[in-house]
Structures are given as structure tokens and as C-alpha cells.
Amino acid sequence: MFVLELTYTAPLERVDALLQDHREWLEKEYAAGHFLAAGRKIPREGGVILAAGTDRATVERIVTEDPFALAGVCEYRITEFAATTTAPALEQYREPLPS
């Protein structure tokens, strides 16, 4: 599983101009089964996406396709973790500890 942390590197006006394209990209990745949740940071200085069901190389490729990344209005930090415990609704994403 991955935590994708976006940090805006441009004024919110530039981010907002790309928001619809970014939302369409999110929906595409939800439909592909890559994303579980996403939302804005508070205060609004970026966002967070929870991704699963893929490998790091795929996640790295996916974030380069984000309209925010393509336009240079954000930077991504990708953190991979083993989801060894989850809420019952996310049980299918539980992972064993790596050996």
C-alpha cells in the first residue's frame, strides 16, 4: 500500500485551473483499482492519496500522469507501507510483514 503526498509548488489559482483534469485522473485511477481514498490537506497546501493493489514502479508512473504533476504545480512524496492491520472494510488489503 502507498501514501501519496502532494505538496503544491504553485499558487492555488494555477492548481484550481487544473482541478477538473486532476479529478478526472483520480476517477480513472479509482476505476483501475489503484486508489482507495484521496483528499485535500488541511490547511490546503496539497493533498493525500491512498493507493493499493499495485507495485512501486506502477505508482511512480501513475503520479507522473497527474495533470498537477504534468503542469508542475505539485511535487509527490511516495511512502510505501505494509498494511498489516486494517478496518474490516479494508480487509482485502491486509498484508503480511515483509520477511
What are the pLDDT digits (tens) for 74-97? Answer: 999 999 999 999 999 999 999 888
Residue type, 31: A
Which pLDDT belongs to residue 4?
A: 98
Rounded to whole angstroms, what are the CA distances from 47 to 1, 71, 72, 93?
Answer: 17, 16, 15, 22
| Structure confidence by residue, pLDDT tens digits, 12-42 | 999 999 999 999 999 999 999 999 999 999 9
Give the whole-angstrom CA distance, residue 11 versus residue 90.
35
In this prediction, residue 75 carries a pLDDT of: 98
DSSP, collapsed to helix, strand or coil, labels residue 90 as helix
Higher pLDDT, 27 or 53: 27
Cross-strand pairs, 77: 5
Q: What is the pLDDT of residue 53?
A: 85
pTM of the predicted protein model: 0.93
Strand order in the sheet with 74-80: 35-40, 46-51, 2-8, 74-80
